[in-house]
Amino acid sequence: MTDLTKLTLAGARDALKKKEFTSLELTDAYLGAIEAATPLNTYVTVTADQAREMAKASDLKLGKGQGGALEGLPLGIKDLFATKGVLTTACSHILDGFKPPYESQVTQNLWHDGAVMLGKLNNDEFAMGSSNETSFYGPVVNPWRRNGDTTKIVPGGSSGGSSAAVAAKLCLAATATDTGGSIRQPAAFTGTVGIKPTYGRCSRWGVVAFASSLDQAGPIARDVRDAAIMLRSMAGYDDKDSTSVDRPVPDYEASLGQSLKGLRVGIPKEYRVDGMPAEIDALWTRGIEWLKAAGAEIVDVSLPHTKYALPTYYIVAPAECSSNLARYDGVRYGLRVPGKDITDMYEKTRAAGFGTEVRRRVLIGTYVLSAGYYDAYYLKAQQVRTLIARDFTEAYAKCDVLLTPTAPSAAFGIGEKTADPLSMYLNDVFTVTVNLAGLPGISVPAGLSSDGLPLGLQLIGKTFDEETLFRVAYALEEAAQFKAEPAVWWRS
């Protein structure tokens, strides 16, 4: 039998329906691939027995010609999603041993549609990071390497386990979350497709909270079609999340292949930032040419508050994280470090349980929310956020979708940026605006850097217009013909 892990999600779906192989065979192929890929450190928990049980149940359904949209398809789940009875720590020491007695709504939706869970994927601690180096379980290694070089490269973050596992074919697709770029930047760094849908499109119920007004779930997948299939199953209204939005979920796959005739693509001039590598600029120009050739009209637009997006984010996100993470106190679950009194126990538990990046953000958040500073920082940031969202509204009077690079560089080496938090934060310069405005964004692989690492282009859409994003992303994918794959060096 050929290597089953080479099939895309759509390919495997169609083959399972035709009974070319069973879900159990497919699942075993993935479990074998995962076992042989320990140097990548993508999975923090492998649920092999559960995966085989789910696959067998799917095979019974498929045998009768039944089953959901994802019946029998093995997926990886970011450790930020609560999975019933399965260790869920958000890759933080403070959640040691926590097995949720409930399932997140997004994963529940996937199981309802027949998907098979392979295990939990590594991520930056509490999704705080852009390189997957802040995980308590150690960094994830990108399957991609620079040409002729064995330096370990980061897979992006925070969904680095998801992006690396999809790129290394250790699952058909993966769930991920995006607060400032955590789906799109890792997708760009690994040659995969990642979409952050509109805020409210996916339920946040059972997703470990980082910054609640920015967090949104979405998939990372091998191609645009697979991402469309995944998002359709993940999305939907949930009465347990009051910010989830009650509107029908379209068949995103139906948007693929539709013409771009008459579509207006905006090019925001503020995204041409100082010091942007020439190859990123060239990639962007190529993307513009591709969409023009596909029939789209190119329009210059301005998003004047772009430069304030990152500083705004680094007030809003830490403020919300310091509030959300207040619940981890060592009293009710997870890690507890004993102390001489209750305050001492809280302080020791949180000192031992949080890593340095999480601690840094909790402290910043506590400071900007503290008495006397709230107006100067948090209120000001929320006002600037209104202006950033307004920029997009004004741009969308002239265009239907925006095209930008996903990240200001290709992936970097492990340890290269950890010494300087600010240089790490700058990774999200093109993605963070989208979270602040609640908009959908997708990253599509579009080429290789001069040293052989993947580069991505980002499309930003109007609120709840994921269909246009998928349509344009598919056209980009068709034009880019990105077929490069990482050489398999990690297999033991």
Partner 1 sequence: MSVDQNTVRHIARLARIAVRDDELSALAGELNSILDWVEQLGEVDTNGVEPMTSAVAVTMKMRDDVVTSGNLQKEVTENAPGSEDGFYVVPRVVE
Q: Which residues are catalytic?
A: 78, 158, 182
* Residue 443, C-beta contacts closer than 8 angstroms, at least 6 positions apart: 183, 184, 185, 187, 188, 193, 194, 195, 406, 456, 457, 458
Is residue 473 within 8 Å of 442, Cβ to Cβ? yes
Nearer to partner 1 among residue 11 and residue 339 (C-beta): 339
Options 59, 463, 477, 482; binder of partner 1; rule CB under 8 A: 463
Nearer to partner 1 among residue 99 and residue 152 (C-beta): 99
Nearer to partner 1 among residue 434 and residue 476 (C-beta): 434
312 binds partner 1 (CB under 8 A): yes
Options 126, 199, 470, 490; binder of partner 1; rule CB under 8 A: 199
379 binds partner 1 (CB under 8 A): yes
Least distance from partner 1 to the Cβ atom of residue 308, Å: 6
241 binds partner 1 (CB under 8 A): no
Least distance from partner 1 to the Cβ atom of residue 121, Å: 22
200 binds partner 1 (CB under 8 A): yes
Q: How many residues form the binding site for partner 1 (CB under 8 A)?
A: 69
Nearer to partner 1 among residue 354 and residue 474 (C-beta): 354
The span of 198-206, 285-293, 447-455, 466-474 binding partner 1 (CB under 8 A) equals 198-206
Cα–Cα dist 403/290, whole Å = 11
333 binds partner 1 (CB under 8 A): yes
The three-state (H, E, C) secondary structure of the chain, written as one string: CCCHHHCCHHHHHHHHHCCCCCHHHHHHHHHHHHHCCHHHCCEEEECHHHHHHHHHHHHHHHHCCCCCCCCCCEEEEECCECECCECCCCCCHHHCCCCCCCCCHHHHHHHHCCCEEEEEECCCHHHCCCCCCCCCCCCCCCCCCCCCCCCCECCCCCCHHHHHHHHCCCCCEEEEEECCCCCHHHHHHHCCEEEECCCCCCCCCCECCCCCCCCEEEEEECCHHHHHHHHHHHCCCCCCCCCCCCCCCCCHHHHCCCCCCCCEEEEEHHHCCCCCCHHHHHHHHHHHHHHHHCCCEEEEECCCCHHHHHHHHHHHHHHHHHHHHHHCCCCCCCCCCCCCCHHHHHHHHHHHHCCHHHHHHHHHHHHHHCCCCCHHHHHHHHHHHHHHHHHHHHHCCCCCEEEEECCCCCCCECCCCCCCHHHHHHHHCCCHHHHHHCCCEEEEEEEECCCCCEEEEEEECCCCCHHHHHHHHHHHHHHHCCCCCCCCCCCC
61 binds partner 1 (CB under 8 A): no
144 binds partner 1 (CB under 8 A): no
Site residues for partner 1, window 98-117 (CB under 8 A)?
Answer: 98-102
120 binds partner 1 (CB under 8 A): no
Cα distances from 214 to residues 117, 199, 312, 327, 341, in angstroms, run 26, 7, 12, 19, 36
Nearer to partner 1 among residue 95 and residue 455 (C-beta): 95
Least distance from partner 1 to the Cβ atom of residue 340, Å: 12
Two tokens at 199?
């805020």
Site residues for partner 1, window 342-371 (CB under 8 A)?
Answer: 342-348, 350-351, 354, 359-360, 362-364, 366-367, 370
Options 38, 285, 383, 393; binder of partner 1; rule CB under 8 A: 383
Nearer to partner 1 among residue 243 and residue 302 (C-beta): 243
314 binds partner 1 (CB under 8 A): yes
433 binds partner 1 (CB under 8 A): no
487 binds partner 1 (CB under 8 A): no
246 binds partner 1 (CB under 8 A): yes
273 binds partner 1 (CB under 8 A): no
The span of 55-63, 162-170, 240-248, 475-483 binding partner 1 (CB under 8 A) equals 240-248
Least distance from partner 1 to the Cβ atom of residue 244, Å: 9
419 binds partner 1 (CB under 8 A): no
Least distance from partner 1 to the Cβ atom of residue 434, Å: 10
- Chain contacts with partner 1 (rule: CB under 8 A): 97-102, 198-200, 213-214, 239, 242-243, 245-246, 305, 307-308, 311-312, 314-315, 322, 326, 329, 331-334, 336, 342-348, 350-351, 354, 359-360, 362-364, 366-367, 370, 373, 376-377, 379-387, 389, 421-422, 435-438, 463
